[in-house]
Amino acid sequence: MSQDAEIICEVRGAAGVVVLNRPKALNALSLGMVRKLARALAAWERDPQVTRVVVTSVSEKAFSAGGDIRHLHDLGREGRHAEMLTFWREEYILNARIKSYPKPYVSLIDGIVMGGGVGISLHGSHRIAGERYLFAMPEVGIGFFPDVGATYALPRLPGASGIYLALTGDRVGAADALALGLATHAVPSAGMAELADALTKPGALDEILAGFASDPGPAKLAADRAIIADCFGAPDLAAIRAKLTAAAAGGSAFAAKVQQTLATKSPTSIALAFEQMRRGTALDFAQAMQTEFRIVSRIVRGHDFYEGVRAVVVDKDHAPVWEPASLEAVSPSAIEAYFAPLGADELELES
């Protein structure tokens, strides 16, 4: 297998091993990577030698920082929307395959895991967080929305923490990930390579993982979980904002900081993300992925995604001009339109 490949998929002992191998791009997912992983999972599902899948990264900085947003932005600027949507269609189908995969799927996450990286790890059976683990779904900051199955996963996190993560894009480490259920185990960074090797050998998976697991220490959000639950558990965005205002006025520095954070994000994206979270609790995984494909099919023909990527990735001036510019100016009917069926273009998932 070429070591120059963006993703390496090979059988090692008892495991189908996936190595994310695009370190200069922080393992941002390309369409080629999505397709290669999908082919490998299909083959390993039928291979009796493969008892588990292990996904790891060559980068010390990142497991995967997301999809290749700059490339997708450039395609859209050229009006090549069908090519953009081919990426998301196949990525979402892959996310659904991982969610329903019949063999244990173990992600060794010791670095940044965002966006598309979350999609190829969070829905697997085992998520192992190293000391460098850093989770975020920061899409509202680039005029996008938390996708790759976030519609299903985030509303199911305890204490409205998933809604908080979706609307703020906040980053959390291994301790919070373990506390919230984003990770199933925490392992010291120094033990990750040895664990990866151990997972290729026969043996009970849970016993192997238990032998490497450790206490990741205190969780960053622990002190503010009650405020998060109270504010982000409110029934609508206006109530969330009112509760944050009241908490900030009552002396909560955390609430005041959250207010400042929300003020920088795309108002359309915040409204979209909240509506996703509201609907997501009642959707199964396939319905969640279809919902996300409906949303992205409209996003690619909008304004804020291109403006957000311009401001953060292209020009890096971090001064996006959102349209509309305030939450008050975002109409409920405009948000509703993102969720409308696509007819012949609906995302179709394997049963």
Annotated catalytic sites, by residue? 67, 116, 139, 147
Task: Convert 26-45 to b/e letters by CB count within 10 Å (16 or more is b).
Answer: bbbbbbebbebbbebbeebe
Burial tier of 256 (Cβ tally within 10 Å: 0-12, 13-18, 19+):
middle
User: Reduced to 3 states, what is the DSSP secondary structure of residue 333?
Assistant: helix
Please give the DSSP secondary-structure letter assigned to residue 313: I
Task: Convert 198-217 to b/e letters by CB count within 10 Å (16 or more is b).
Answer: bbbeeeebeebbeebbeebe
| Pairwise CA distance, residues 242 & 232, whole Å | 11
| Pairwise CA distance, residues 5 & 22, whole Å | 8
Residue position matching structure tokens 């997301």: 66
| Pairwise CA distance, residues 220 & 254, whole Å | 12
Task: Convert 225-239 to b/e letters by CB count within 10 Å (16 or more is b).
Answer: bebbbbbbebeebee
What are the distances in angstroms from CA 53 to CA 108, 122, 277? Answer: 11, 14, 30
| Pairwise CA distance, residues 179 & 176, whole Å | 5
Burial tier of 292 (Cβ tally within 10 Å: 0-12, 13-18, 19+):
buried
| Pairwise CA distance, residues 62 & 26, whole Å | 5
User: Reduced to 3 states, what is the DSSP secondary structure of residue 186?
Assistant: strand
User: For residue 255, which amino acid is it?
Assistant: A
Half-sphere exposure of 338 (CA within 13 A, CB side): 26
